[in-house]
Amino acid sequence: MERRWRILGGCGLIAGIFLFVQLGALALVQPFESAGYQAVEDPSDPTNSLMYIGAILVATAVMLLAFRYNVDQLIRGLIVFSSAWLSLYVFQVLVPPVFTYAGLNVVAVLLALGLGTALLVYPEWYVIDSAGAVMGAAAAGLFGISFGVLPALVLLTVLAVYDAISVYGTEHMLTLASGVMDLKVPVVLVIPMTLSYSYLDATAPDPTAESEESDESAAANDAAEGPATTATGTDADGPAVADGSQPADRPDEATETGDTDESADVHADPLERDALFIGLGDAIIPSILVASAAFFASADVLSVFGVPLPALTAMIGSYVGLTILLWMVLKGRAHAGLPLLNGGTIAGYIIGALAAGISLVDALGLGPYL
């Protein structure tokens, strides 16, 4: 029973991070627009989404090659730099420019550098999650003001299909997830099931593993030089050599969802895991539509607590998708996150838009093309 309460606490933490990203994006869209952070000239152009999707494919290929050729630390440095850079956008609009130098907000720069340094020096789970939450709110806000509703819908739809294919079909996302886990960067959110859990301890190299691997290599060499053995003798009687690409061989691995979807051991009881892992992209991508629906809403659209109704129902829809996703994951299987999360967000947005009196054509952003 205690373990189940811990699982509920972990799910609550995931929901809390998602909420922070969404509310943060909503709070940042106006300051970002005022600061001139809109990245495109025409936010209504759906080809903006296609360019971003192409960039994702290129980035995925580069990361897979980096892991294959053992230059993954270069990727780690790039992600940490990106985290600090995105956080700088946030701090520059939130921190009053009390001290400036060469046009830069000194306090904002120091805060961003502090976040990047913390990720490099001490990437414990709460450092990773805090950085990921700030990074996610910044990314969702930036894309929210740069993608109109139609480009945002295109982006969420295509990425949901891509996520499903890459997890259930080609499975290259699983390979990517395994490599990202070792980098200790906020591409993956770490959700501990106990207060005593330490991500640094869980991912620390096992000193006995190298010696065992050396012994196994020596035994394999001896076998190769000696008389031939039968398949039964080498496979059944000898030590099992684990495939290093399989995360099931790593201790304390937990279920992952979404862009970093992977299960440490799909047969293990999720209630016995020490941590859950969920991709930061699962929080960012649905939040783009939430931010876009709020930013590009007309002034006469019904609002609730200052949030346009379509954006609010999009948030609700994302949590419906998240609830279903977590229920499926806790049954002991890894799943692609974006089909459920994006599907729920899109459905919630459309329901809210129709309830607010917006026609379906206008809600989908198709008016200028019909």
23-47, pLDDT tens digit by residue?
Answer: 999 999 999 999 999 988 889 898 8
In 3-state terms, what secondary structure has residue 238? Answer: coil
- Residue 214 in domain: no
Beta-carbon contacts of 294 under 8 Å, excluding residues fewer than 6 positions away, are: 26, 29, 144, 307, 308, 311
Note down the domain range covering 27: 1-201+271-364
Contact 180, 76 (CB under 8 A): no
Total domain count, the chain: 1
Residue 355 C-beta-side C-alpha neighbours within 13 Å: 16
CA dihedral 268→270→271→275, nearest 10 degrees, is 110
Residue 278 confidence (pLDDT): 87
What kind and span of H or E run contains 344? Answer: helix 338-355
Tens of pLDDT, residues 273-287: 788 888 899 999 999
- Residue 39 in domain: yes
CB-CB neighbours of 224 under 10 Å: 8
Residue 211 confidence (pLDDT): 52
Return the closest-CA partner of residue 75 out of 182, 219, 205: 182
- Residue 73 in domain: yes
Exposure letters 329-343 (e unless 16+ CB within 10 A, then b): bbebebbbbbbbbbb
Per-residue pLDDT of the chain (370 residues; tens, 9 = 90+): 667 778 888 899 999 999 999 999 999 999 999 999 998 888 989 888 888 888 888 888 888 888 788 888 888 899 999 999 999 999 999 999 888 888 889 999 999 999 999 999 999 999 999 999 999 999 999 999 999 999 999 999 999 998 888 888 876 676 676 677 778 888 889 999 888 889 988 887 766 655 555 555 554 454 444 433 333 333 333 333 223 333 333 333 333 443 433 334 444 555 567 888 888 999 999 999 999 999 999 888 999 989 999 999 999 999 999 999 998 888 876 678 899 999 999 999 999 999 999 999 999 998 877 7
- Residue 148 in domain: yes
| Share in percent of the chain as helix, strand, coil (round to 5) | 65, 5, 25
Contact 92, 111 (CB under 8 A): no
Six-digit token pair at 322? 């998240």
- Residue 246 in domain: no
- Residue 163 in domain: yes
Task: Report d(CA 336, CA 82) in Å as an integer.
Answer: 24
Return the closest-CA partner of residue 322 out of 5, 19, 85, 29: 19
Task: Report d(CA 344, CA 3) in Å as an integer.
Answer: 29
Q: How many helices (H) and strands (E) does the chain have?
A: 14, 7
Eight-state DSSP code of residue 266: T
What kind and span of H or E run contains 52? Answer: helix 47-68
Residue 8 confidence (pLDDT): 85
Task: Report d(CA 265, CA 5) in Å as an integer.
Answer: 22
Eight-state DSSP code of residue 125: H
- Residue 289 in domain: yes
Contact 145, 43 (CB under 8 A): yes
- Residue 250 in domain: no
Residue 174 confidence (pLDDT): 67
Six-digit token pair at 174? 């699983």
Residue 56 confidence (pLDDT): 85
CA dihedral 118→120→122→127, nearest 10 degrees, is 50
Residue 340 confidence (pLDDT): 95
Going by DSSP bridges, is the β-strand pair 188-192/303-304 parallel, antiparallel, or unpaired? unpaired
